[in-house]
Amino acid sequence: MKPYIYITRKLPDALVKPLQEKYDVKMWKHDDIPVPRDILIEEVKKADALLSVLADSIDEAVLTAGKNLKVVANLAVGYNNIDLKTASLKGIAICNTPDVLTDTTADLTFGLLMTTARRIVEAAEYLKEGKWQSWNPFLLAGTDVHHKTLGIVGMGRIGETVAKRATGFDMDILYYNRTRKPDAEKKLGVIYTSFDELVKKADFIVCLTPLTAETKNMFTREVFQKMKSSAIFINVARGAVVDEQALHDALVAGEIAGAGLDVFQVEPITVDHPLLKLPNVVALPHIGSSSTETRTSMIELCIENISSILEGKEPKTLVNKDWRPLVKG
C-alpha cells in the first residue's frame, strides 16, 4: 500500500503531480477555506505525511491522532502553529520553508514601509474616489524614507535582507536581536542597540522577530509611547508580538504617526477591525511571501521534504532537530 499524504489546502495540480506519481495523495477542496478541524483529524488518522499551512493548528490532538504520521511539512517559515514537543516525542519530523522566501518577504516589508510613509494607498483611493480637484503643495504629503533611521527588531535572514535594501536609501540602520550579528554589522554597517534605545531613536521600526513566549505582546502601549511621534511601525512578523489595542490607541492619540501591518493577532480579520478604520494604517492580508515564484518554491520544498522522510532520507529543512524516527505500529 502506498503511503498516504493529506494536503490541507488545494494546490496547483502541476506542483502536486510529483507526489501523486509515487504516493496516495488527497487535498482539501478549497484554497481559501480552512479544512474543518474534524476532517483534519480524520485525515491525519490515515496519513503518513501532512502538508499544512500556518493557519492550521497542528496541536497535540492532531499529532496524537496521527498513528502513522511521519512528517508535517509546514508551508511557512514560522511553525508556532505546531506542537514541536509532542511531534518530537512521537517521532514526527516537522519541516518548514526558510530561505526560499527571504528576498520576497524583504521586498514586501520595504514596500509596506514606503507605502505607509508616502501614503500611497490613501493617495490612490483619493484619486479613484474623484477627490482630486486641484493641486496644492502639501496634498497627501507623507514622510521621506531616505536618510532616515531604520530600526529592525529581529535580525534573521529577512531582517538582514531588509537592511540591505535600506542601504540603497542611505538609511542609518539600528537592530535588536537575541544575539549580535558581527558579520552583518561589518557587511551592512548596521548598529546593534538595546530594544529600548532602538524604539526611541528609529524613524521606522520594523518587526521581524519570531513569535515566542518572550516576544508575545512585545510591543505594548508603553513601548509605543517611547517612540517618536513621527515614527512609523511596520509588522511583517506575527500579529501576536503586538498588543493591537495598544497600537490602536497609540495611533489615535498621535503617539506614533502610522503603521503598516501584514499580520494580525487573529487571522483573517474582518472589515470592522478597529485598525482598519484608521487612515494612517496600511493593512495587508498576510502576503509577505506571496509571489508566484516564491509560493511555488515553498510548495516544492514541502514536497521535497515529504519525499525525503518517506524514503528514509534526511529532510532539507528540519525544524525539530531532536526528532528521531520511531517505528510506527
Are 140 and 123 in contact, with CB atoms under 8 Å apart?
yes
Active-site residue, from 9, 119, 165, 238: 238
Active site residue 30: no
Q: Among 329, 305, 303, 300, which Cα is nearest to 318's?
A: 305
Q: Is 286 a catalytic residue?
A: yes
- Residue 66 near residue 47, CB atoms below 8 Å: yes
How many CB atoms neighbour CB 146 within 10 A? Answer: 9
| Measured distance CA(101)–CA(250) in Å, rounded | 32
Question: Per the residue annotation, which of 9, 119, 248, 286 is the catalytic one?
Answer: 286
Specify whether 185 is catalytic. no
Cα separation, 328 vs 305, whole angstroms: 19
**Beta-sheet strands, E only, within 108-257:** 149-153, 172-176, 191-192, 204-207, 232-235
CA distance linking residue 265 with residue 63, whole number of Å: 24
Q: Are 95 and 319 in contact (CB under 8 A)?
A: yes
Q: Are 246 and 240 in contact (CB under 8 A)?
A: no
Instruction: Kindly name the residue from 42, 125, 222, 267 that is annotated as catalytic.
Output: 267
Backbone angles phi, psi at 150, to 5 degrees: -105, 130
Q: Which residues are catalytic?
A: 238, 267, 286
